[in-house]
Structures are given as C-alpha cells and as structure tokens.
Amino acid sequence: MILKIEAFFYCVTQFPVKNFIPCIPMETPLLRYRLTDPIGFTTKVYAVIIVAGGIWLFTLYPVVGVLMILFGIFPLVQYKCLEIDLYHGTYCIGVNILGHTIGDREPYSGPKCIFLKKNRHFSSSSRRSWRPTASISFDSYLWLEDGTKIPLSCDGSKETAMLRIQPLAQELQTEIRDLTEGIPHS
C-alpha cells in the first residue's frame, strides 16, 4: 500500500496533468449508534483496581494475571451498539470492542421511521410493600421498511429519549413519531 501511494505521488509530481483531480478511495458508509450508556466512575475505578491487581498477580502467576488484566480492560473498551452498513445493506446489533462490532448481520431494508413509545411497568421491589410500584419508561425503536423493529433506548423521561434519538434520525434522514400520548398519565 505504501509503495502504491509513493508511486502515485511520484507520477503526479513528475507527470502533471492539467485539471487532474486525484481519486481517493472513499470509506465505507458505516453508521454506529451506541445503545448503552457510557460506564460510570465507579465501574472505571473497579476496572483500574482489577488491572492493577492483575499486574501485581502477573509477577506470581502470569496466566492468572493476564486474565485479570483482560477482565479489567474489557468494560473500558466495549459497549452495545447498532451498526448500519449502508454500502452492503446490512445492520448488526452487537457488542463493539475496539471499533469492531461482533454480532449477526441482517439485511437492512431502509428506515421507515423512528418512534417513541411510552410504557408502564409494575413491580413490587420491596418485601414489606404489598402494593406494586408503577414506573413509566420511554422506549425508542427504529422501524425498518420490512417491518423489523430495532430497540434503541429505554429512558425515564421523554426529553432524554428525544435527545438520544435525534442524532440517529438526522443521520438516517427519517422522521421521529411520538406515540407517547396513548397512555394517560397517572
């Protein structure tokens, strides 16, 4: 590759052509949308402690030390994401590790819309309470032309959900449908 680039620049400088615009190969149009929140401060501290313990343990037991170092680094370099490859017409929901998404590739038929839905969840989180607790979440989905619905986020407030999905809607040039008015507030 380096020889080709050097040969290209040699030809351009030695044999100039009028109105010549060099063709630079374009990158594959690849969209990545992060589906999980960034890790918090506490998780980062735990990861650093595990890495430090792994480095110390490496001096006594090298194999165990390397495993601890890898387990400590893993939360810092991975996240769940949606990757859309517009060139090949595929999408992948998987885990992104150091820029490479691991997951199953499915055919991407194009976006129909992104919609926001309001859900009510009932849970009894305490042993002392007989009453179920109601909580509301705002879930967003990417709806594809073939009817596939891809979950994007689950947030506690409508404003947070809208802020989270607006960049993807702009990138895909699609509309955001607000379906949150179906369930009355309580």
Q: What is the pLDDT of residue 3?
A: 37
Query: Which range marks the domain in which residue 139 is found?
Result: 109-124+132-179
How many domains is the chain built from? 1
Whether the CB-CB separation of 95 and 32 falls below 8 Å is answered with no
Q: What is the pLDDT of residue 128?
A: 66
Q: What is the pLDDT of residue 182?
A: 58
Each residue of 99-158: pLDDT tens digit? 888 999 999 888 898 998 888 877 666 666 667 777 788 899 999 998 889 999 888 888
Whether the CB-CB separation of 136 and 119 falls below 8 Å is answered with yes
Among candidate residues 97, 61, 66, the one with its CA nearest the CA of residue 79: 97
Does residue 119 lie within any of the structural domains? yes
Each residue of 44-101: pLDDT tens digit? 899 999 999 999 999 999 999 999 999 999 888 888 989 988 888 899 999 988 888 8
Does residue 100 lie within any of the structural domains? no
Whether the CB-CB separation of 22 and 33 falls below 8 Å is answered with no
Does residue 120 lie within any of the structural domains? yes
Q: pTM (2 decimals)?
A: 0.67
Distance CA 35, CA 18 (A): 49
Does residue 141 lie within any of the structural domains? yes
Q: What is the pLDDT of residue 88?
A: 87
Q: What is the pLDDT of residue 26?
A: 53
Does residue 169 lie within any of the structural domains? yes
Over range 13-21, report the average pLDDT.
47
Does residue 143 lie within any of the structural domains? yes
**Per the structure block, which two tokens stand in for 176?**
């955001």
Does residue 150 lie within any of the structural domains? yes
Distance CA 60, CA 53 (A): 11
Does residue 85 lie within any of the structural domains? no
